[in-house]
Copies of this chain bind each other. A is one copy, B any other.
Amino acid sequence: MADDLSAQEELHAIRNSIDNIDAAMIYMLAERFHCTKRIGALKARHNLPPADPAREEYQVQRLRKLAGTAHLDPEFAEKYLAFIIREVIRHHETFQRK
């Protein structure tokens, strides 16, 4: 019983950490999309091509390497980037339709 109570307390403490991390992630994602919106506007203003395969390849390789030092699966780091880029493209498409 006492053991179960301390398990519940530990669960609660770890969940608090997860909630703090998620809050930080939400604010950083907002800042990241703020950056990509600025890039979208800059590219439109200067007739720069929207896609940049060399930049994307650089990002993939860099994040895979960072994941290694953070003890995170490099495949997941790549999935994270793909997930974000899908959303960036969705933003650009919505922006263009306006």
Contacts and interface: CB of A to CB of B under 8 A. Distances in A.
Interface of A: 3-4, 7, 10-11, 14-15, 17-19, 21-36, 38-39, 42-43, 45-46, 48, 55, 59, 62-63, 66-67, 70-72, 76-77, 79-81, 83, 87
B76 A23 contact: no
A21 to B, nearest CB: 5
Nearest to A17: B35
7 contacts: A7-B46, A19-B62, A21-B28, A21-B32, A27-B70, A28-B28, A29-B80
Contact of A72 (B30, B67, B80): B30
Contacts of A19: 59, 62
